[in-house]
Chain A
Amino acid sequence: MKYIITILIFFSFQAIGRESGQTEITTDDGIEVFNQEKYYLLKTNVIIISDEYELSADLVKAYFNKDLYDITRIFSDGNVTLISSKGIKASGEKIDFDIINEGLQIFGKNSLFTNKEIIMTSDEEIKINNITGNFLINGPDSRLKSDTIDITGYLIKGKFSQIKNINEVELLYVEDEKQINIKTETLDMYALRADYDKKINIIELFDNVKIFRDNESILGDYAKINTLTESYKVTSKESGKVKALLDKTDE
């Protein structure tokens, strides 16, 4: 009888394959289910495959609402990689995935988040909310890069909006006690802080401002740049003087 049951269970192990709408989870070192606390721990070499996403990690803590299938939040630890069917890719030391609120937090060195043309990297934290569009990149080597803009700084936060299936930065705040950098197709800007609002098409730069465009460079303490006309105004607090360098060209 023992062998019959073992064989039956073994074959059902083999026969069970993920069907559409199902989530398949495999682990090398078992599952601990905590009914009272409403979560389960998936241990060692965890792989989760569903219609919406694929996740792999060393350890996963999955919170559920009513039943085990009713997952509300997945906290993954160790070599985490998340790939969504919508083109999102995330990796890091830890990932906190809030399924209900569509929030994603990536922690640790070499944290990475990509969504189509947008790439976010940091050595500390990346936080994105798919519903609100809010994002935060915090820590050393934080960077936000897209086809049209490249931003570096210790803290980068803002908001995305999706226009015609393309993600665009709607609001942006960047700061770094050493230096931030914002590069567009035509401008290369440096400062300690920056603010951008797409509604008014204005980038404001604060402290140790440097702007490079073609062969000209302008230095000051504050700059206001119109992203539509690409015109800018630079001021300096102490001397009231702004330094502008215009290189000669062959022409």
Chain B
Amino acid sequence: MCMTCCDLVVKLNNFLNINKNTLFILSIFLIAIFFATIFYKRGSINVTEESFFSIDPKFDIVNPSFTINNPKEKIFVTAEKGNFLNNNQIFLKNNVFFKSDNFTLLSDEVTYDKKKQTAVSKSTSKFESEGTEIISEGFSIAERGDIILFNGKTLLILKQ
């Protein structure tokens, strides 16, 4: 018992012999590591959150694109976002474009049917072709683009 107490006293004496400057630098180094770890973890969390929001779980597809195959012309359909309503119908949102060699049709919300190759919109729409501009309160495309119906109050400007 007496021997054990003596060993402990010797070890404490050695600890008290450590240089104060060394101890201070060591402390600063440990604190720096601690904060660096915290900042790194926070940074990682931010990155994760950002990518989480850019994917937007509300939408099934980003930048969807389709083609309506009309015997006379191909009509390309593009949008920023899309949601599957069922196997055939897709709700397209933001910058929805219908483009062919002859015309461009822009709207913000369109329901597109892949199987029937039809489209319906109840949002303000703008149609442009050579010498023609149509602005309406919505539209629908039938017969693979052969028939385009502009709904609601409509303005048509013809330029010769």
Contact at B135–A26, with CB atoms within 8 Å? Answer: no
Contact at B147–A6, with CB atoms within 8 Å? Answer: no
Provided the pairs A1-B80, A68-B131 are in contact, do residues A13 and B149 lie with their beta carbons within 8 angstroms?
Answer: no
* B-binding residues in A (CB < 8 A): 1-2, 5-6, 9-10, 12-13, 16, 18, 21-36, 42, 50, 67-71
When distances are taken between beta carbons in the complex, the residues of chain B under 8 Å from A29 are 151-152, 154
Given A12-B126, A69-B158, 13 more pairs with CB closer than 8 A: A2-B109, A5-B94, A6-B123, A21-B160, A27-B154, A31-B154, A32-B148, A35-B148, A36-B143, A50-B158, A67-B102, A68-B131, A69-B132
Select which of A23, A31, A34, A36 is within 8 A of B134 by beta carbon: A31
Question: What are 30 A-B residue pairs whose CB atoms fall within 8 Å in the complex?
Answer: A1-B108, A2-B93, A5-B108, A5-B124, A6-B108, A6-B124, A9-B124, A9-B125, A9-B126, A10-B124, A12-B135, A22-B160, A23-B157, A23-B158, A24-B156, A24-B158, A25-B154, A26-B155, A27-B154, A28-B153, A30-B151, A30-B153, A32-B150, A34-B147, A35-B145, A35-B148, A36-B147, A68-B156, A69-B130, A69-B132
A69 vs B158: C-alpha distance in the bound complex, in angstroms? 5
Chain B nearest CB: distance from A153 CB in Å? 40
A27 vs B102: C-alpha distance in the bound complex, in angstroms? 23
Contact at B158–A13, with CB atoms within 8 Å? Answer: no
When distances are taken between beta carbons in the complex, the residues of chain A under 8 Å from B107 are 5
A18 vs B109: C-alpha distance in the bound complex, in angstroms? 28
Provided the pairs A21-B160, A69-B131 are in contact, do residues A30 and B155 lie with their beta carbons within 8 angstroms?
Answer: no
Contact at A71–B158, with CB atoms within 8 Å? Answer: yes
- Compute the total of residue contacts between A and B using a CB distance below 8 Å: 116
Quick check: is B104 within 8 A (CB to CB) of the other chain?
Answer: no
Quick check: is B133 within 8 A (CB to CB) of the other chain?
Answer: yes
When distances are taken between beta carbons in the complex, the residues of chain B under 8 Å from A21 are 159-160
Quick check: is B136 within 8 A (CB to CB) of the other chain?
Answer: yes
B97-141 contacts to A, CB under 8 A, are 102, 106-109, 123-126, 129-137
Contact at B135–A67, with CB atoms within 8 Å? Answer: no
Contact at A30–B150, with CB atoms within 8 Å? Answer: yes
A135 vs B33: C-alpha distance in the bound complex, in angstroms? 101
Contact at A25–B155, with CB atoms within 8 Å? Answer: yes
Quick check: is B50 within 8 A (CB to CB) of the other chain?
Answer: no
Provided the pairs A69-B158, A69-B160 are in contact, do residues A26 and B132 lie with their beta carbons within 8 angstroms?
Answer: no
* A-binding residues in B (CB < 8 A): 72, 80, 93-95, 102, 106-109, 123-126, 129-137, 143, 145-160
Contact at A16–B159, with CB atoms within 8 Å? Answer: no
A70 vs B159: C-alpha distance in the bound complex, in angstroms? 9
Q: 8 tightest CB-CB pairs across the interface, nearest first?
A: A69-B131, A69-B158, A25-B156, A23-B158, A68-B132, A31-B150, A30-B151, A33-B148
Chain B nearest CB: distance from A44 CB in Å? 9
Chain A nearest CB: distance from B94 CB in Å? 5
A35 vs B127: C-alpha distance in the bound complex, in angstroms? 14
A115 vs B72: C-alpha distance in the bound complex, in angstroms? 44
A2 vs B79: C-alpha distance in the bound complex, in angstroms? 12
When distances are taken between beta carbons in the complex, the residues of chain B under 8 Å from A68 are 129, 131-132, 156, 158
When distances are taken between beta carbons in the complex, the residues of chain A under 8 Å from B152 are 29-30
Chain A nearest CB: distance from B156 CB in Å? 4
A82 vs B158: C-alpha distance in the bound complex, in angstroms? 18
When distances are taken between beta carbons in the complex, the residues of chain B under 8 Å from A70 are 131
Chain B nearest CB: distance from A97 CB in Å? 15
Contact at A33–B149, with CB atoms within 8 Å? Answer: yes
